[in-house]
């Protein structure tokens, strides 16, 4: 295994790619946005004024998607106002994105943004503006977007977890150890883990209905992924392994904060969403010499619980916090070798 002290230039990272990643779509600058048809800018602004309950992340993603779409309309459709856009034009736009090589998740997001805008017009705005009285939702009835995968997801093994923790400890990266132990054992997303409060370290173990002490504590309520400002309220099961390394980090950092995962550059702040990406890219991928990203920890956590024979319904509800088992199954990275060997 590589060590962080090695020169990065000497380390070859296995990216486990199944196909080449698409180049980023052109950034729609403010100058470019000003060239977009006024009617289209107005309807976009109206949409976000009415949909003020969208989370900041959803607002950012939807605004970017709409700007890309309206710029394409500006270039390819003579800046046609939205109320005159036809289904064929939107199909051509989707084909443009597909031909650009975008992953299906990115395609789905961009389609959802325009579909949400069309639903707003159809359900609300068409009654307020005569231009949209005959508007038809051109995003309906289209062929589904075929799923594609850029990276082969390979779970982080127990040996790899141990190796990561060993190297981070060598480098006295105690917050990195705490984050890895939490992500690997708890299964939270990066945006959820950053919300964990120091008060959790004083929580007592959960006592079940049989008065038996368990080896985990429940977290405080955390904002989970969701389009609304409040998102989805979640309570995580934090096991002793994660608590151990959280306590180690908090004991070493030398300052007080309401939050466990923090940085101090002049002032003390929660880690950003990008912090976990940087940890994975600049440290963990180098240690394991293969591509590691924050989301892989959630999938690994779920996979190990399934391998231990835990019920997928229970995991889906209490660990993955998914609304359906089908979503949890996407995170199942178990090898199918045993099933395959028994076919013939």
Domain endpoint, select from 115, 132, 149: 132
My answer on whether 78 and 187 are in the same domain is no
Nearest to 27 by CA among 61, 80, 76, 64: 64
CA gyration radius for the chain? 24
My answer on whether 169 and 121 are in the same domain is no
Domain membership of residue 40 (yes or no) is: yes
Tally of domains in the chain: 2
Domain membership of residue 18 (yes or no) is: no
* CATH number of residue 287's parent domain: 1.10.443.10
My answer on whether 127 and 209 are in the same domain is no
| Tens-binned pLDDT, residue by residue, of the chain (344 aa) | 445 555 444 566 666 655 565 577 888 999 999 999 999 999 999 999 988 878 888 899 999 999 999 999 999 999 999 999 999 999 999 999 988 888 888 888 999 999 999 999 999 998 888 999 999 999 998 877 776 665 578 899 999 999 999 999 999 999 999 999 999 999 999 999 999 999 999 999 999 999 999 999 999 999 998 767 778 899 999 999 999 999 999 999 999 999 999 999 889 999 998 999 999 999 999 999 999 999 999 999 999 999 999 999 999 999 999 999 998 988 888 876 655 666 66
Domain membership of residue 15 (yes or no) is: no
Strands 262-265 and 237-239: unpaired
Strands 237-239 and 222-224: unpaired
Domain membership of residue 273 (yes or no) is: yes
Domain membership of residue 2 (yes or no) is: no
Contact present, 193 and 199 (Cβ < 8 Å): no
Alpha-carbon gap, residue 98 to 92, rounded angstroms: 10
Structure tokens at 93: 């736009």
Alpha-carbon gap, residue 296 to 336, rounded angstroms: 18
My answer on whether 98 and 165 are in the same domain is no
Predicted structure pTM score: 0.76
My answer on whether 206 and 323 are in the same domain is yes
My answer on whether 50 and 120 are in the same domain is yes
My answer on whether 171 and 82 are in the same domain is no
Q: How many CA atoms lie within 13 A of 85 on its CB side?
A: 30
Q: Which residues are catalytic?
A: 189, 225, 295, 321, 331
Domain membership of residue 113 (yes or no) is: yes
Query: Which residue range(s) make up the domain with 257?
Result: 158-341
Counting beta carbons within 10 angstroms of the beta carbon of residue 181, is it exposed (0 to 12), middle (13 to 18) or buried (19 or more)? buried
My answer on whether 127 and 163 are in the same domain is no
Nearest to 225 by CA among 234, 215, 217, 213: 234
Residue 48 CB neighbours (<10 A): 15
My answer on whether 168 and 312 are in the same domain is yes
């Amino acid at each position: 295994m590589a060590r962080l002290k090695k020169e990065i230039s000497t380390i070859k990272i296995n990216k486990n790619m199944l196909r080449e990643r698409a180049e980023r779509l052109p950034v729609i600058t403010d100058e470019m946005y000003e060239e977009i048809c006024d009617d289209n800018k107005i309807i976009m602004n109206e949409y976000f004024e009415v949909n003020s309950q969208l989370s900041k992340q959803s607002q950012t993603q939807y605004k970017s998607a709409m700007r890309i779409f309206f710029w394409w309309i500006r270039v390819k459709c003579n800046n046609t106002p939205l109320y005159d856009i036809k289904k064929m034009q939107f199909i051509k736009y989707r084909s443009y994105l597909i031909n650009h090589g975008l992953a299906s998740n990115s395609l789905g997001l961009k389609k959802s943004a325009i579909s949400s805008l069309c639903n707003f017009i159809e359900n609300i705005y068409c009654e307020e503006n005569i231009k949209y009285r005959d508007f038809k939702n051109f995003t309906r009835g289209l062929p589904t977007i075929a799923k594609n995968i850029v990276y082969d997801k390979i779970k982080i093994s127990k040996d790899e977890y141990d190796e990561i923790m060993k190297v981070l400890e060598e480098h006295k990266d105690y917050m990195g150890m705490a984050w890895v132990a939490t992500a690997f054992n708890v299964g939270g997303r990066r945006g959820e883990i950053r919300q964990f409060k120091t008060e959790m370290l004083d929580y007592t173990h959960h006592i079940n209905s049989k008065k038996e002490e368990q080896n985990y504590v429940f977290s405080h309520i955390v904002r989970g992924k969701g389009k609304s400002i409040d998102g989805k309220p979640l309570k995580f099961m934090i096991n002793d392994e994660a608590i151990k390394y959280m306590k180690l980090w908090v004991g070493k950092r030398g300052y007080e904060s309401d939050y466990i995962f923090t940085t101090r550059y002049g002032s003390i702040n929660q880690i950003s969403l990008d912090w976990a990406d940087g940890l994975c890219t600049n440290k963990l991928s180098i240690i394991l010499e293969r591509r590691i990203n924050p989301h892989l920890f959630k999938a690994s956590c779920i996979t190990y619980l399934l391998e231990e024979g835990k019920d997928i319904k229970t995991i889906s509800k209490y660990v993955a916090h998914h609304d359906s088992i089908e979503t949890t199954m996407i995170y199942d990275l178990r090898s199918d070798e045993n099933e395959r060997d028994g076919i013939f």
